[in-house]
Amino acid sequence: MVLSVSERTFAQEVFQASTPVLVHFWAPWCGLCRAIDPTLASFEAQWAGKVKLLGVNADQSLKLANTYRLTSLPTLIWFEGDRARFRFEHYQGREELRQTLDAWMLATQRSSQTQRLQPQQVANR
């Protein structure tokens, strides 16, 4: 089950998370939003403890919808701290979504491994 956040809890749940956060902007009337739920749940289970999945009802959180300039639903935004790093719109199918999510996760892991290296380790690569 995806944890729902509101405008009031968004900053705490997203910006202060100890892992990357995948935010699923959705609406109750959006069929595609419901259709991707199993793919998101599977992704969250596969990467348990390494990514946090949150849902935002865009109809009830208009300020967030405007802040992140939503033009279509579903929209997925990958946050690392307070920085939106990746964005997924215009859903084309489960396989494309799954490949995109896995690519984001792997890019995030590579980025964090590079950041942990000391400067001389990077120079010797």
Q: Please give the structure tokens belonging to residue 115.
A: 């950041």
Q: Which residues of 51-68 are buried (b: 16+ CB within 10 A; e: fewer)?
A: bbbbbbbbeebeebbeeb
Q: Cα 60 from chain centroid? A: 19
In sequence order, which ranges of 3-93 are alpha helices (DSSP H)?
10-15, 31-35, 37-46, 62-67
H and E: helices and strands count for the chain: 6, 5
Q: Which of 14, 22, 23, 33 is catalytic?
A: 33
Please say if 101 is a catalytic residue: no
Please say if 30 is a catalytic residue: yes
CB-based contacts of 99, cutoff 8 Å, min separation 6: none
Q: Which of 5, 14, 23, 30 is catalytic?
A: 30
Active site (catalytic) residues: 30, 33
